[in-house]
Structure 1
Amino acid sequence: MGWEYGIRTQEPARLPEIIQGLAASLTYSSTYSLELHTDGFVLLRGDESWPNALEVWLEEASGLDEVADGERYFYCLFHIWGEEGRAWMQQMQEVTSRYPGIFEWFEL
Structure 2
Amino acid sequence: MELLWFYVAIVLAISDTIHTQIVWKIFNKFYLILGGIINNSVNAPWKTWIIHELMEAGFHFIFVSIAFLNLEIGILAAFIHFVIDVSHTLLISSHMNELEHRSLHFVIESLFFIAIYGL
Q: TM-score, normalised by structure 1?
A: 0.31
Structure with the largest fraction of helix = 2
Structure with the largest fraction of strand = 1
Q: TM-score, normalised by structure 2?
A: 0.29
Larger of the two Rg values belongs to structure: 2
